[in-house]
Structure formats: C-alpha cells, structure tokens
Amino acid sequence: MGLDSKDLLGIKELKKAEIEEILTTAEYMEEILKRPIKKAPTLRGITVANLFFEPSTRTLNSFILAEKRLSADSINFAAASSSVLKGETLLDTAKNIQAMEVDMMVVRHSSPGTPHFLADRLEASIINAGDGCHEHPTQALLDIMTIKKNFSTFDNLKIAIIGDIKHSRVARSLICGLNKMGAKITVCAPPTLLPLWLEPLGVEFEYNLEKTLPEKDILYILRIQKERQEESFLPSLREYIKDYSITYNKLKNFASKDVVIMHPGPINRGVEIESGIADSEYSLILHQVSSGVAIRMSVLYLLSKRRRDGHKD
C-alpha cells in the first residue's frame, strides 16, 4: 500500500495502518543492519539533503547513517555555516537546494510548521526531523517500534510521560502516536511544565510522581533543560530532582516490578534520572537509538518508493 503523502510531516497526518507499515518495513531494515555488509542499494541515485536549522547530534547522525546504509547521496546543510546568516529566506534556501536535483529533504527548524510550509511549496519529499515544540515524528516512530518489540501489543499498555511536556515535540508526537495505537497515557510534571490546555492531547495528567508510578508499564522520561530554571518554570533543578527525578528508591517503593524506562536523549544524568538507571536492566534507552536508524531507513525507503512509483500530488 505505501504512504499517502509525499512527505512525513507529523504523526498527526499518519493513519494507524501507515504507522504499522513503517514499523514492519523498519523490521526488514533491522535485518540489513545485522548483515556483515550493512548496506543495501535501495536508494541508489536518490539525493537527500539534511537541512538542520537547529543543532542536533543524535537525530542528524541517525539520518545520515540511514541514508548511507541505503546508498543514497546526501548533503548536510547546517544553518550556522550557511546563507541563512547572510539573510536568505528559508524558502529561497530550500528552493536552491531543490534546484540541485535533490529528491528529499530532512528538515529541523525551531518554528512549528516549517516542514509543512516547505512541503506545500516544493516538489521534494520533506521529512520532519523536529519543528519547534510541535512534532518529531521519527522519534515517536522509533519509540513505538521499541515499545512494540518489548510488549508486542499496545492494548491496555499504560505509559507515563514524565517531565517538560509543555516544551516537548517528542511528547506531542509520542502522545499522538500512542493514542492511535491504543495505549493509555498519563503525563506527569509540575504545573508550570504542563500546558493549561491538555484536552486536545488526549491524556490524563498527574502532578505527583509517586501517584504516577504505580501500575505503569513504561516510564518515558523527558530531558529537563537547565534554562527552565532561568525562565522561572522551576525554582531550582534541586527541587525538580527531589520531586520528579526517577530514582531507584522511587522505583522500588512505587513502580511496578517490570516497569521499563525510556528516554529520547540526551540524558542529564542525576537530573531527570538517577545515573545508574540509564544503564540498568530497566532501561530501553539504547534500544531506542538502534531502532532510530531502522525507522529512518524505513521512512526514506517508503517515501522514495512512492516517488519512484510516480505518485503525483
């Protein structure tokens, strides 16, 4: 069947069947990654531009690796060394890149909707690699893939997302995706880090971590940015750590025995998570990272297949 759109803009735009197809394809991609020669010729002749207007290490490298594994040609465009600094508009930059016969663009930008804006105006396929606090669809897909591998079903699965929900594109995409898959989601944070309008997100909320922990299958922990203290969202990191950091003690006293921990990275050891937990048997963090390459290969493949099959919007 393939994907409906020429672009991957957000989880919101995907149907459940499309998410499932991306996951199934990603499982094939994982097989490629386990071969002695980790490369397939699938995207030979396809050119991908990675346009990152915001710094990124993990996501950018994961995309670069996925592109290489599938034999695509790729160019990296970092805003810091680009014409953006010379006053060129984003659209002009993207049109110039497209004029070099680029087929797909992986875009990260601080403004929500930037990939949507480009997708409407360019023929190239746009993949959203994070737009402000809006969406980060490939992160959600790799998280869903990791969960699927560990739990096989989403029915009755109880997940708590803990941390800075208000400023998190990861949370928005993950909530949207997990709702489509049928899981039950609770968000937990101090009130300043939760949106006042939670209804459109379709989640339960709880301020108190100790009340959140029991009976959850997964604790998904978000990174706390140090700036939140300066912006007066938090009195101090010390206070956040006391009330919201995931520690062995809290897990032992309140969480279910089989609970697993996920985190989109990069982690702040000793802040949102007690250091050892990230490396413990609770943690799926590195599984998430490996799923990331497979998911991105899957998305690149499905979008390029759609282009090759001659879909026209």
Where along the sequence are the contacts to other proteins (CB under 8 A)?
89-91, 109-114, 116-117, 120, 131-135, 169, 172, 195-201
Q: Which of 24/89 has CB closer to other proteins?
A: 89
Contact status, residue 216 vs residue 251, Cβ threshold 8 Å? no
Q: Which of 108/216 has CB closer to other proteins?
A: 108
Measured from the CB of residue 198, what is the shortest distance to other proteins in angstroms? 7
Quote the tokens at residue 190. 């101090």
Q: Which of 72/94 has CB closer to other proteins?
A: 94
Measured from the CB of residue 63, what is the shortest distance to other proteins in angstroms? 20
285-288's contacts with Cβ under 8 Å and 24+ in sequence apart are: 285/261, 287/146, 287/149, 287/150, 288/142, 288/143, 288/146, 288/262, 288/263, 288/264
Q: Which of 111/280 has CB closer to other proteins?
A: 111
Measured from the CB of residue 299, what is the shortest distance to other proteins in angstroms? 20
- DSSP code string of 130-171: EETTTB-HHHHHHHHHHHHHHHS--TT-EEEEES--TT-HHH
Measured from the CB of residue 264, what is the shortest distance to other proteins in angstroms? 15
> In sequence order, what are the residues at sequence separation of 6 or more whose Cβ sits closer than 8 angstroms to the Cβ of residue 291?
26, 30, 142, 143, 145, 146, 149
Cα distances (Å, whole numbers) of residue 134 to 182, 194, 201, 214, 266 = 21, 14, 12, 29, 19
Measured from the CB of residue 38, what is the shortest distance to other proteins in angstroms? 35
Measured from the CB of residue 165, what is the shortest distance to other proteins in angstroms? 10
Q: Which of 37/99 has CB closer to other proteins?
A: 99
Q: Which of 69/109 has CB closer to other proteins?
A: 109
Crossing angle, helix 58-69 and helix 16-34, to 10 degrees? Answer: 70
